[in-house]
């Protein structure tokens, strides 16, 4: 099981953590939403909660809740800039399809254990 960050994503997360005293980790998971069923949930966090799985990459703690773990296992989180905009991108090997608007995705239930 793994969640990894590109160097660009790690730098961006470090800058967010530096701006938020008391926040020591990236919280990553999914929530039900959109036309395809799942959307990524990304936030800053502190202490791990019951059931969280903790990963470390490039000096960043990454916390994933137990319900999301099978759906995001193996994801590489990147941060890219496009002109004046910037965003996190997720390369998730569990994604079977994405909606047309790019806001949600589906997974193969057998492959992700969902």
In this predicted model, what pLDDT tens digit does every residue of 37-89 receive, in sequence order? 899 999 999 999 999 999 999 999 999 999 999 999 999 999 999 899 999 99
**Domain span including residue 39:** 4-108
Cβ contact 53:66 at 8 Å: yes
pTM of this structure: 0.88
- Find all residues with CB under 8 Å of 20, minimum gap 6, and list them: 44
Q: Which two tokens stand for residue 101?
A: 């608007």
Q: Is position 42 within any domain?
A: yes
Residue 113 in domain: no
CA distance 29 to 8: 20
Report how many domains make up the chain.
1
pLDDT confidence of 101, banded at 50, 70, 90? low
CATH number of the domain residue 51 falls in: 2.60.300.12
Quick check: is 75 in a domain? yes
């Amino acid at each position: 099981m793994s969640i990894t960050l590109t160097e660009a994503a790690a730098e961006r997360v470090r800058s967010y953590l530096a701006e938020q005293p008391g926040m020591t980790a990236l919280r990553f998971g999914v929530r039900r939403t959109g036309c395809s069923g799942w959307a990524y949930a990304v936030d800053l966090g502190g202490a791990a909660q019951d059931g969280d799985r903790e990963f470390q990459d490039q000096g960043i703690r990454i916390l994933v809740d137990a319900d999301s773990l099978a759906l995001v296992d193996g994801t590489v989180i990147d941060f890219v800039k496009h002109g004046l905009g910037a965003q996190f991108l997720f390369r998730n090997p569990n994604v079977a399809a994405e909606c047309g608007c790019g806001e949600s995705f589906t997974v193969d239930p057998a492959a992700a254990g969902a």
